[in-house]
Amino acid sequence: MSMIRDLRAAVRPSLRHPLRKTDTASPYANYDATRDPTAATAVVDCAVYRDGRRVDDHACLTPRGAMRQVRDSGGFAWIGLHEPTESEFAGIAAEFGLHPLAVEDAVHAHQRPKLERYDDTLFTVFKTIHYVEHAELTATSEVVETGEVMCFTGPDFVITVRHGGQGSLRNLRHRLQGEPELLAKGPSAVLHAIADHVVDGYIAVADAVELDIDQIEIDVFSPPAKGSTRGTDTGRIYQLKREVLEFKRAVTPLLRPMQLLSERPMRLVDPDIQKYFRDVADHLARVQEQVVGFDELLNSILQANLAQATVAQNEDMRKITSWAAIVAVPTAVCGVYGMNFDHMPELHWKYGYPMVLVGIAAICFTIHRTLKRNGWL
């Protein structure tokens, strides 16, 4: 009976899922339906949820088996993948009728945060941010590490594709499984949970980055240590500014998708869940304001640091000029008396040499005291 069922599925693919259409031009038109698409090693977890609870059935451990359970008994499937290749994702994409453009974005990653709709499927891209712990910020320190989470949301399925070593959704899945009343709302509840999880990560990273900026600010505006020079923090400031810019690129483009999910009615988003998206959008807006503030503050710190370096250079030049003025007096006097003329003032006087030395010392002392009084030395 299973062979007959698979044969029917191969001959009549348009009846396998309401979202899938027969299209000879589709890149999945030649997909072998007799091959289990979950042979792909990229599948991290696969489950069916009915009435908010995970269905404990071995048949649900593959995408095909999960969708078969969904069509037969209702509920929705949640499939998680990590960095799938094109061949690994092709079978799943064909099984769920995913649009080729969205599939290409999900496989190759490096996408801008966005929300797109393909027929009855929402494709959402999130940038995940992880704070890299470091004992001391240097000119080459990595402060934030980015990853990506792509989410395909349909009427009866959620497919998450993760890229990068951070941003695992395993703990999130376990937490949601402990809230069956929330999972009962369907795939949109999972989409909200992922968005909330990502934005909560932004908040934690923003707090950590703020501490780094505070430390930089203290180092720049505190009196320099004895023997140190100004301008040594420029590389650290610039590196931190680069990391904040990367953070900003992850946060800012996500504002519009969150506004759409929280304000515009969508068939794939439960009205009760849509209210929760407003909270996510509000938190995201707050983080965005923080990141913009970080960028502006680092600009000010960088300018202040460069100004301090310029002031320090001017102070050094004033000191050099002051000492040059002092040294010019004995140089001039000794140069005159070193011209070996016979008729010079007090040349043959017994006390002429000591008096010249005393005169040089008195003039140099007067110049030194005057310059020091005026803050040049």
Say yes or no: 172 and 303 in one domain: yes
Say yes or no: 214 and 338 in one domain: no
CATH for 204: 3.30.460.20
* Structural domain harbouring 333: 312-374
Distance, in Å, from the CA atom of 119 to the CA atom of 154, rounded to the nearest integer, reads 9
Q: What percent of the chain is modeled with pLDDT above 90?
A: 42
Say yes or no: 289 and 184 in one domain: yes
Distance, in Å, from the CA atom of 38 to the CA atom of 68, rounded to the nearest integer, reads 14
Helical packing angle, 187-221 and 170-177, nearest 10°: 130
How far, in Å, are 234, 255, 342, 365 from residue 351 at the CA level? 58, 88, 17, 21
Could you read off the pLDDT of 25-59 as tens digits, one per residue? Answer: 333 334 343 445 444 568 888 999 999 899 887 76
Q: 107 by DSSP, 3-state: which?
A: helix
- Does residue 244 form part of some domain? yes
- Does residue 6 form part of some domain? no
Residue 229 has pLDDT above 60, yes or no: no
Distance, in Å, from the CA atom of 278 to the CA atom of 282, rounded to the nearest integer, reads 6
For 175, list phi and psi in degrees, rounded to 5: -65, -40
Identify any residues that bridge with 47 across adjacent strands, giving them in sequence order. 78
- Does residue 24 form part of some domain? no
> What is the chain's Cα-based Rg?
36
Say yes or no: 357 and 226 in one domain: no
Say yes or no: 224 and 365 in one domain: no
Say yes or no: 270 and 129 in one domain: yes
The pLDDT mean for the chain works out to 82
Distance, in Å, from the CA atom of 47 to the CA atom of 53, rounded to the nearest integer, reads 10
Residue with tokens 């707050």: 286
Token pair of 28 as six digits: 């999945």
Distance, in Å, from the CA atom of 173 to the CA atom of 193, rounded to the nearest integer, reads 9
pLDDT given for residue 189 in this prediction: 94
Is the separation of the CB atoms in 298 and 212 below 8 Å?
A: no
Say yes or no: 46 and 169 in one domain: yes
C-alpha torsion 191→196→199→200, nearest 10: -150
Task: Please name the residue ranges forming H helices in the chain.
Answer: 2-11, 63-73, 86-96, 100-108, 170-177, 180-183, 187-221, 234-251, 255-263, 271-337, 352-373
pLDDT band at 116; cut points 50, 70, 90: very high
Say yes or no: 284 and 342 in one domain: no
197-216: average pLDDT: 93
Q: 66 by DSSP, 3-state: which?
A: helix
pLDDT given for residue 232 in this prediction: 55
Distance, in Å, from the CA atom of 302 to the CA atom of 218, rounded to the nearest integer, reads 13
Q: 238 by DSSP, 3-state: which?
A: helix
pLDDT given for residue 38 in this prediction: 44
Could you read off the pLDDT of 295-312 as tens digits, one per residue? Answer: 999 999 988 888 877 777
- Does residue 100 form part of some domain? yes
pLDDT given for residue 249 in this prediction: 93
Could you read off the pLDDT of 140-151 as tens digits, one per residue? Answer: 888 899 999 999
Give every CB contact of residue 8 below 8 A, 6+ residues apart in sequence: none
- Count the domains in the chain: 2
Nearest Cα residue to 287 out of 169, 203, 196, 182 = 203
Say yes or no: 185 and 43 in one domain: yes
Residue 132 has pLDDT above 80, yes or no: yes
- Does residue 118 form part of some domain? yes
Predicted TM-score of the model (pTM) = 0.74
- Segment among 61-75, 247-261, 275-289 with least mean pLDDT: 61-75
Say yes or no: 113 and 83 in one domain: yes
Residue with tokens 């649900």: 60
Is the separation of the CB atoms in 161 and 32 below 8 Å?
A: no
Say yes or no: 256 and 110 in one domain: yes
